[in-house]
């Protein structure tokens, strides 16, 4: 198996890694560059826990071939907070008790960020649609939906970071 | 084809923990040199809030700010024995063990403070903000940090405590078979409104209204959150989830999340919850445990609602469209039972 060099930016930092043929992006992020914020849930694109943004668009990193992100700009939950200051979405998730075990939270945050970045004033249906690819086992979704709507009201979507 | 509205109701008495083998849990509490406290548990927090609640319980009992307590859970190498996080037993069992351990540690802390202040330990009180003072003479005081430091560096005392919860084993009466399996019950009632499509057999949950009696809600927001999430699980068990859809035949079982059905964010129903607090005499600060009962009443309530809507009595979960449709056909059509 040959290795391919791949360069991309992750949360604003340049990364250069060698990837195997067919290696998925989630594996490269977690094991290759050490960003553990995207989670490995099902490994087949059903649970959404591995969601990251590629050029601002939500993607399932477990189903994305790592070599396809050459030259692209990636964001993960690991880059949301600015130092000690939480991203408005993270803050809203905390205030609305939108995490219990926390395993889906990373994917939920990225799905929500992708929504708010393109639609700063979403309806409840827009929010439901945006997180419909993400499974949560604990919260019953309601606190997550409320957190995202609240973050939108507080201008999370108009923030550039 | 028509849509039939139905309403179902269920009430439950839910046992907190169980009395098989005494249902033990242990806790160890000790102060670090800076007067911050560690609580060692092997009990597991899967997100229900055990860490937060035991932290509050320890702080309340010790008489120190909640920020001064750190709870270390889920390591059976370093934490004392716990039966586990199940049967809604965490808050009640582990909480009681933490109280016992924290009381012992508090008494050492107060003895150390008494020695420093040259007073009787029985005359000391804590203000919950990190100070120990002489009752009636608040100016005679020492911080909890200084008292713990003096114990460990001057007086040669460990500020520590051990706690265990253990129920006496209940003997079985040889004549009647009667025993006391449980010492503490929580209670709930839930009403669910649904719509059933008699052409597809689909059940749509429209609204849930519930009342839960959970002893004292030690952390009200976390209790509420657990009830919201638990009701979703109940809905999921009632209408979606199964590993064996045609049990005992093993066919058509789901192999992954594509086939294992659960309600998504678009399938949830509004849920109004009333939390009733009736502190349990044997609970930590009156707390019981929401736990499993968050999900339990939803299942029979949905089954009753389906009967109310179309007259089909389904006694095997989940209540799939196929089962509803077969029931409607067997009855020669939907038989709405009417609203009372």
Could you tell me if B51 lies within 8 Å of chain A, comparing CB atoms? no
Cα(first)–Cα(last) distance of chain B, in Å?
24
**Do B46 and A101 make contact, defined as CB atoms within 8 angstroms?**
yes
* Residue appearing with tokens 């657990």: B226
**What are the extents of the domains in chain B?**
3-16+185-330, 25-165
- Residues B56-105: tens digit of each pLDDT: 999 999 999 999 999 999 788 999 999 988 889 999 999 999 999 999 99
pLDDT at B202 over 80: yes
3-state secondary structure (DSSP) of residue A6: strand
pLDDT at A117 over 70: yes
pLDDT at B224: 93
pLDDT at A8 over 90: yes
pLDDT at A155: 80
pLDDT at A158: 62
Cα–Cα distance for residue pair B59/B51, rounded to 1 Å? 12
Q: Which domains does chain A have, with CATH numbers?
A: 3-79 (3.10.20.30), 88-155 (1.10.150.120)
CB B284, CB B57: distance < 8 Å: yes
**Do B229 and A46 make contact, defined as CB atoms within 8 angstroms?**
no
pTM: 0.91
- Residues A15-71: tens digit of each pLDDT: 999 999 999 999 999 999 999 999 999 999 999 999 999 999 999 999 999 999 999
Q: Which CATH class is domain B25-165?
A: alpha beta
pLDDT at A107: 98
Q: Which residues of A touch B229 (CB under 8 A)?
A: 100, 138-140, 143
**Do B225 and A143 make contact, defined as CB atoms within 8 angstroms?**
yes
Q: How far is CA B128 from CA A119, B36, B53, B63, in A?
A: 47, 13, 16, 5
pLDDT at A1 over 80: no
**Do B268 and A131 make contact, defined as CB atoms within 8 angstroms?**
no
pLDDT at A154: 87
Average pLDDT, chain A: 94
pLDDT at A160 over 80: no
Tell me the pairing of strands B25-31 and A51-54.
unpaired
CB A72, CB B201: distance < 8 Å: no
pLDDT at A89: 97
pLDDT at A159 over 80: no
Cα–Cα distance for residue pair B147/B158, rounded to 1 Å? 11
Q: Which CATH class is domain B3-16+185-330?
A: alpha beta
> Min CA distance, B334 vs chain A (Å)?
31
**What's the pLDDT band for B19 if we cut at 50, 70, 90?**
confident
Tell me the pairing of strands A57-60 and A51-54.
antiparallel
Longest Cα–Cα distance of chain A, Å, equals 50
Residue B98 φ/ψ, nearest 5 degrees: -65, -40
pLDDT at B212: 96
Cα–Cα distance for residue pair B227/A77, rounded to 1 Å? 28
- Residues B209-254: tens digit of each pLDDT: 999 999 999 999 999 999 999 999 999 999 999 999 998 999 999 9
pLDDT at A161: 45
> Min CA distance, A161 vs chain B (Å)?
27
**Do B256 and A46 make contact, defined as CB atoms within 8 angstroms?**
yes
> DSSP label at A82?
B
Q: Which residues of B touch A138 (CB under 8 A)?
A: 47, 229
Do the two domains B3-16+185-330 and B25-165 of this chain adopt the same fold?
yes
pLDDT at B119 over 50: yes
Cα–Cα distance for residue pair B184/A130, rounded to 1 Å? 43
- Residues B156-186: tens digit of each pLDDT: 999 999 999 998 877 889 999 988 878 899 9
pLDDT at B340: 64
Q: What percent of chain B has pLDDT over 90?
A: 84
Q: Which of A100, A101, A132 sits opposite B265 (nearest CB)?
A: A132
């Amino acid at each position: 198996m040959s290795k391919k060099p791949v360069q991309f930016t992750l949360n604003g930092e340049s990364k250069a890694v060698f990837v195997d043929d067919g290696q998925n992006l989630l594996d490269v992020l977690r094991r290759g560059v050490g960003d553990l914020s995207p989670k490995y849930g099902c490994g087949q694109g059903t649970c959404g826990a591995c969601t990251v943004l590629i050029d601002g668009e939500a993607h399932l990193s477990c189903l994305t071939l790592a070599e396809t992100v050459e030259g692209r700009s990636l964001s993960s939950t690991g880059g949301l907070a600015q130092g000690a200051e939480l991203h408005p979405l993270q803050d809203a998730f905390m205030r609305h008790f939108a995490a219990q075990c926390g395993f889906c939270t990373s994917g939920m945050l990225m799905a929500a960020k992708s929504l708010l970045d393109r639609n700063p004033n979403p309806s409840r249906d827009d929010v439901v649609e945006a997180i419909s690819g993400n499974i949560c086992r604990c919260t019953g979704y309601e606190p997550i939906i409320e957190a995202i709507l609240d973050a939108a009201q507080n201008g999370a979507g108009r923030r550039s970071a | 084809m028509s849509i039939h509205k139905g309403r179902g109701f269920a009430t439950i008495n839910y046992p907190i923990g169980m009395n098989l083998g005494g249902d033990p849990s242990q806790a160890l509490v000790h102060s670090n040199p800076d007067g911050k406290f560690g609580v060692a548990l092997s009990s597991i927090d899967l997100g229900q809030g055990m860490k937060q609640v035991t932290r509050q319980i320890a702080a309340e009992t010790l008489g120190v700010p909640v920020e001064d307590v750190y709870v270390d859970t889920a390591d059976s190498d370093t934490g004392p024995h716990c039966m586990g996080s199940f049967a809604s037993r965490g808050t009640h069992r582990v909480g009681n063990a933490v109280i016992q351990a924290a009381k012992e540690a508090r008494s050492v802390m107060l003895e150390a403070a008494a020695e420093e202040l040259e007073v009787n330990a029985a005359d000391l009180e804590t203000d919950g903000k990190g100070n120990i003072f002489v009752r009636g003479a608040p100016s005679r005081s020492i911080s909890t940090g200084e008292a713990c430091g003096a114990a460990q560096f001057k007086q040669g005392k460990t500020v520590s405590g051990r706690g265990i919860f253990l129920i006496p084993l209940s003997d079985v009466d040889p004549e009647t078979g009667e025993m006391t399996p449980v010492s503490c019950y929580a209670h709930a009632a839930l009403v669910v409104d649904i719509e059933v499509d008699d052409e597809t057999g689909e059940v749509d949950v429209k609204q849930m209204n519930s009342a839960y009696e959970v002893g004292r809600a030690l952390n009200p927001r976390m209790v509420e959150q657990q009830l919201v999430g638990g009701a979703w699980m109940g809905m999921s068990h009632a209408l979606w989830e199964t590993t064996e859809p045609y049990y005992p035949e093993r066919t058509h079982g789901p192999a992954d999340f594509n086939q294992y059905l659960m309600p998504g964010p678009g399938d949830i129903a509004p849920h109004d919850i009333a939390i009733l607090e009736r502190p349990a005499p044997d609970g930590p600060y009156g707390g019981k445990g929401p736990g499993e009962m968050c999900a339990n009443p939803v299942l029979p309530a949905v089954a009753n609602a389906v009967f109310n809507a179309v007259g089909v009595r389904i006694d095997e979960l989940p209540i799939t469209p196929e089962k509803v449709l077969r029931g409607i056909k067997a009855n020669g059509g939907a038989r709405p039972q009417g609203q009372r």
